[in-house]
Structure 1
């Protein structure tokens, strides 16, 4: 029998969702869509033609594709794909979306043969969508795909700029503590990519914060017991309700992968002892120079631990896949693949540590499976996630001084054998699992979100 939760007055309700077109944003949005569908709602997904998801994996959703000028528009052609260049694309996407979204939403709202649209849920970085939703009297909720702590820091960027933390020519020492956020160091703020002078990054983040606060609600990929102090701050400072939902515990992200998944390594992984393998993946957009790539390889081999290493095509600047590695370099203790079903890997009993770029999806998937981390952030929210995991949750080791093979091998050995880190990771997973039980914080949050949307 169909779940009746998303049906009001005998009529099924529809939700329109609009993800940002990057892997780390598509995954949680489609996990949210699956969760809401399981609660009885009809789902329509708006998506850019850039980074289209494989719609055949979601026959139960309706997809509409918009912003179809990319990548032919010459304004986009010189923007690098990876790193902070993504913010320049997001800046332009917001300009384009402000022109195209109103028309698309009007079409959706006017369809008499479709269920009533209860609300629009967009990625928080689609900040322009708030004014569009307001003009149509359509409630807009936002999905924030990073840790609550990161949002609080982002909201403080103007203050941090006034205090000189974004001025890279100031006399603040990189190891100096940030007084306003004692768990952070100056170098963590510098590594985010924010600078004193205004640019696309600052404008996007500033608008994201303002319009998220003006929304009808914020959905977070997290859980209360991980960030209780930060949740208290959010609830105090933002009038809109917040819903903390651990998406990886409800649905995997494999079906929304933009890259082909390799599963051929599982027979090898099945033969490894429990907690013995280091899983290494630096996400879908990060890149390193060949010199650093070789340091990573030497650090893995020197650690004497077995490893499963995801090397995405394009990960090494100027090289195709693993070209810089000499033949036979990896040996029997290592496996290198182009992409992997990460949640399945992290859940495997052989995995003893996750060396990650500290993007929030990867970080949280590791938390969900109780796997301790080695953190090597690149930019954006990643340095903040890494610091929180290493110095607040204490379930990881932060490799904060670059790519030195000795530091790498030492960090791997420490995480594999340090029982205190492993125990904290296990306890955190237990708290998360408990939150999903009836009456637990995450269970209540899901039920509250469903009831809230049903009331709109």
Structure 2
């Protein structure tokens, strides 16, 4: 298998960046990789671990090199946090300012990506602009959030490319179902994001009710569809069996009769990753708890709940009378019941609230019995890999369809008809408490079965390993 030079173009949001980085590390075992992402994220990625022969600034042919995009991205104030601010309402006035701010930031990212791409040379063509990389690029893998600024230049320079989707299969499925004649309703690209709407699931005829927002179709789905049609293949951060219906629906599209679809999840750090002092301290706290007794609560790095819903959740966790560990942004602490607030950074009690936790370590620990989650795709896959049943509390984006998949496979229970969506009915503490108890009783066996499936997914004969090897070979054949 010949080693090509692969350019990864990544997006600086945790839910996208984490699996994309793990994919790059795996690809670097077969090909040489340059990973381009916001300069603000470079040091964080170095801390997540690099292969032993990574770029040290001296090698002209590293396995895995990092390239910082000068996009002025501030990871402490990301679009998702703007979108999920608990003070936003569904009124038109409330969505305009943050939506415009997101658009402005994405434009800055696009400009930085364009500058990088124009500085790329190939084996047959020089760079269009000032050179940005020393070595010619053979192939690009582009996060679907970064299509603008990347794909047109790939096509202009004749660079073969693949598209990576960090979301579940619903968003790329939407892209295969739309065209220029798809009926839409008014609205800009980020309006639904700011309001906290769920991504819409098509009916059996591939139609959307209510109609998709025009800005989303024009600025995300149609460009994604066009990129699919020009690509060498599409890579999903997905477990094929978990999203079987939507993956197979995509593969029936004429688009995928001419190019492959690769499902390569789970994409998680290797078991041997180094544990720093904070991780060791958390592991020690968990070691002191009984097997299956701990309730783990986390809603990802971007999601915040309505204050009143957060209070009810806190009451439920308190009423369970079980040990708990809760990952929560500090600006949410005031909405917790007083007794739960006392658990903030309190390592001596049965409750522990922290601003950040190593989720994979926690889920893998035997003391953890159930996961109360927003049903983000990465969190769901990590929970499946650890064999932990889930209380599914979707909030927005693609959370609902992921929660529905968890329910379908018997590994989780959906709380209320729409989870913790901002405009849904408030879920009282007693209902949350009852659901936690129900999940651990009814979903434990199925969760254990999924752990076995994902444990073997990357084995030599595993389904994920097979699709990944097909991807690596496809890149070699370019």
User: TM-score, structure 2 length as denominator?
Assistant: 0.75
Counterpart of 1:101?
Answer: 113
Q: Structure 1 residues 394-403 or 322-331, which shifts more? A: 322-331
> Which aligned segments of 4 or more residues in structure 1 are displaced greater than 6 angstroms?
76-79, 84-87, 252-255, 320-324, 328-331
Q: 1:102 to 1:112 in 2, by over 3 A?
A: closer
Q: Structure 1 residues 446-455 or 393-402, which shifts more? A: 393-402
Between the aligned partners of 1:320 and 1:178, the Cα distance in structure 2 is: 33
The reply to whether residue 267 of structure 1 matches residue 267 of structure 2 is no
Counterpart of 1:436?
Answer: 458
Offset at residue 427 of structure 1 (A): 1.7
Counterpart of 2:155?
Answer: 134
The reply to whether residue 243 of structure 1 matches residue 259 of structure 2 is no
Offset at residue 380 of structure 1 (A): 0.8
Between the aligned partners of 2:279 and 2:324, the Cα distance in structure 1 is: 16
Q: Deviations along 1:306-333, whole A, 9 cap, x unmatched? A: 21111123346xx599989554799933
Q: Deviations along 1:29-51, whole A, 9 cap, x unmatched? A: 11011111123x22212112455
SS at 1:125's partner residue? helix
Counterpart of 2:434?
Answer: 410
Matches within 5 A, 1:299-448: 299-315=316-332, 319=334, 325=340, 327=342, 332-390=349-407, 392-399=408-415, 400=419, 401-418=425-442, 421-448=443-470
Q: 1:28 aligns with which of 19, 27, 35?
A: 19
Counterpart of 1:117?
Answer: 137
Q: Deviations along 1:247-286, whole A, 9 cap, x unmatched? A: 435637989x9xx965423222112222221111101011
Counterpart of 1:169?
Answer: none
Between the aligned partners of 2:336 and 2:318, the Cα distance in structure 1 is: 18
The reply to whether residue 63 of structure 1 matches residue 86 of structure 2 is no
| 1:375 and 1:396 in contact (8 A); partners too | yes
SS at 1:300's partner residue? helix
The reply to whether residue 204 of structure 1 matches residue 220 of structure 2 is yes
Q: Deviations along 1:138-190, whole A, 9 cap, x unmatched? A: 1121111122244324655789x8599x9xxxxxxx9xx978159xxx9xx88
| 1:125 and 1:205 in contact (8 A); partners too | no
Between the aligned partners of 2:84 and 2:377, the Cα distance in structure 1 is: 15
Matches within 5 A, 1:176-255: 180=203, 197-199=213-215, 203-237=219-253, 238-239=255-256, 240-248=259-267, 251=270
The reply to whether residue 44 of structure 1 matches residue 34 of structure 2 is yes
User: TM-score, structure 1 length as denominator?
Assistant: 0.78
Counterpart of 1:18?
Answer: 9
Q: Which runs of 5+ in 2 are unaligned?
A: 55-63, 86-94, 122-126, 188-196, 420-424
| 1:31 and 1:247 in contact (8 A); partners too | no
Q: 1:43 to 1:90 in 2, by over 3 A?
A: farther
RMSD between superposed Cα atoms in Å: 4.1
Q: 1:444 to 1:386 in 2, by over 3 A?
A: same
Q: Which has the higher contact order (CA 8 A, sep 6+)?
A: 1
Between the aligned partners of 1:77 and 1:22, the Cα distance in structure 2 is: 7
Between the aligned partners of 1:89 and 1:200, the Cα distance in structure 2 is: 16
Offset at residue 430 of structure 1 (A): 2.1
Between the aligned partners of 2:463 and 2:284, the Cα distance in structure 1 is: 37
Number of equivalences: 419
Offset at residue 208 of structure 1 (A): 3.0
Counterpart of 2:312?
Answer: 295
Offset at residue 365 of structure 1 (A): 0.7
Between the aligned partners of 1:113 and 1:95, the Cα distance in structure 2 is: 22
Between the aligned partners of 2:459 and 2:161, the Cα distance in structure 1 is: 29
Q: Which runs of 5+ in 1 are unaligned?
A: 167-173
| 2:110 and 2:146 in contact (8 A); partners too | no
Offset at residue 288 of structure 1 (A): 2.4
Q: 1:273 to 1:248 in 2, by over 3 A?
A: farther
| 1:150 and 1:385 in contact (8 A); partners too | no
Q: 1:398 to 1:28 in 2, by over 3 A?
A: same
Counterpart of 1:81?
Answer: 82
